[in-house]
A and B are shown apart, each in its own frame.
Chain A
């Protein structure tokens, strides 16, 4: 079984698990509240079982016809590329940046962490000059300030401090 097929089946299994849990939880609700989720959950479980069989059959047919993508190897068509492997290695650094941004928002609030994040990302990933990175960030901060004033918007405040609080 190819890596991609395993991943797709695992994805469907997780969805089935969630629907099963929803079906079970809904049993405790009154009739009008549980009718819709139960009907939908049962339909999803039934269709997931059909789709999982169809997915396996599609992969087997692709393998029989000699399609190299069915082996789970990246052969130029990113549509058939498994997540766990080269794709994850390419994506992981950006997920790391995202996690760092969230940590920053939690610790020092959105405005300060957004300013640090955009400058750092533009410099380290975007390879932008200091001037361009600072100018872009300045414009973003001005836009945030303008939105805050115009629409009375609020931003997440950090655990330790927020310079704009």
Chain B
């Protein structure tokens, strides 16, 4: 394993691949600092360009981008009080008051150093878990993988957004969109009519860009928003690093929580920072400063939201179940590269897996240092009004969309899905489950077909299948009850 790990490091450090990792990191930094454009958008922007690329270079680029978003999204959270992505919401509670008090530099510095440690812990845990997970994952058969996928979809649907049924519905809509095109195991084209374009189905990159980027751009323009009002970042950089080191146990505790929560499909992105913030408040002796600019309220969520990237890659790579919207697109990217996530990630594609682990670690280090170095120009970038960058972003996305099949259908699908995503966003329907359902649909169908053809219907009496099924039902019931209670209280 160690020899394979060092081989993978040599692959990542090869200049021809390193440049793609740095490109991914650069895109991740830009996407992270622009509010609303999270990992899914960044991943979707890069996805069309991975066609035909060397798999190691392509995964380094995608992971490099995903790894630094959780670091870069701290800028808007602290400087403007707007979450850069779903995982940086809790940072606002204390980071923004710190910025208002003229301590933005200290808050950013504490956040970057905590993010660096959290990201490294995530990569370390991911590496450490591979030999343990290997026999476990290889023991799973198609019926178990089918039920795990169903369980993952239930969890994703329930935890995304405010309303539990809308989350589950969004997941099912995603599956239904994936049904467009050729059916597996038969020569039937489903729901395509006379359209030749639809015979291959909707490309993942178009769905992701349409669902996430188009609605954000439309709303930013319609609300005529400049990204930031804060133009200068104050001093206090050393104090922030000192704060992180003084609260090292909080950093490690939050990172451990981040990895654990990130490994649960659907749970990671939007709740890990809140859970981490909650445990920071619970474990603090003096709670009076929280919400008013306490640096611990910045350190805890930032450490955990970087660590969760390593955690979310565990189910993505080993079970083929994405832990978040970002990893859902990554999963699609891996498939485009001819890599089938699942048990093969620990056998034939082990070098890819280890490349991902190394990239995650390296990208966190490079990303954190880049954030330190670029903080002043980035703060100025975030003051650019949406009207000044939207046309360029739109053209880049349309070019990316067109690369999927080089047909007009790409551009039409892009805008139709974009408007659908805008309606979903406007009416408070979660969009991430649509994407996750779309990505998982072929796996569900494949596992179900293999299970039925190999075991008939006797697989339904398998004890592991029954346990996972009961767990899925319990998750749905508990999730619906918890959400309804939460809504009632709010």
Contact = CB atoms under 8 A, between A and B. Distances in A.
A25 interface: yes
Given A87-B426, A154-B406, A54 B398 contact: no
Interface stretch (B70-78, B137-145, B168-176, B466-474): B168-176
Interface in B165-201: 165-166, 168-169, 172-173, 175-176, 179, 183-186, 188, 190-191
Interface in B52-109: none
Contact of B163 (A15, A51, A125, A156): A51
B218 interface: yes
Nearest to B423: A11
Interface string B377-413: 0000000010110111011101100110010100100
Nearest to A91: B222
A146 B114 CA distance: 38
Given A29-B183, A50-B165, A154-B406, A37 B391 contact: no
A36 B448 contact: yes
B449 interface: yes
Contact of A114 (B163, B385, B395, B427): B395
Contacts of B403: 151, 153
Contact of B185 (A25, A32, A136): A32
Interface size of B as a range: 35 or more
B88 to A, nearest CB: 19
Contacts of A91: 218-219, 221-222
B445 interface: yes
B399 A47 contact: no
Given A8-B427, A47-B165, A98 B387 contact: no
Contacts of B411: 102, 105, 156
B1 to A, nearest CB: 35
B222 A19 contact: no
Nearest to B157: A47
Given A32-B449, A37-B190, A153-B399, A121 B387 contact: yes
B173 A44 contact: yes
Nearest to B166: A51
B165 A33 contact: no
The 9 closest A-B pairs by CB, nearest first: A33-B183, A33-B188, A126-B387, A121-B391, A90-B222, A126-B388, A91-B222, A51-B165, A118-B391
Interface of A: 7-8, 11, 15, 19, 22, 25-26, 29-30, 32-33, 35-37, 40-41, 43-44, 47-48, 50-51, 54, 58, 78-79, 81, 83, 87, 90-91, 94-95, 98, 101-102, 105, 110, 114, 117-118, 121-122, 125-128, 136, 140, 143-144, 147, 151, 153-156
11 contacts: A37-B191, A44-B172, A79-B428, A94-B221, A105-B411, A118-B391, A126-B387, A127-B387, A143-B396, A144-B399, A153-B399
Given A32-B184, A50-B165, A140-B395, 15 more contacts: A19-B176, A36-B179, A36-B445, A36-B448, A37-B176, A40-B179, A44-B169, A47-B165, A83-B426, A90-B222, A105-B398, A118-B391, A122-B387, A126-B385, A151-B49
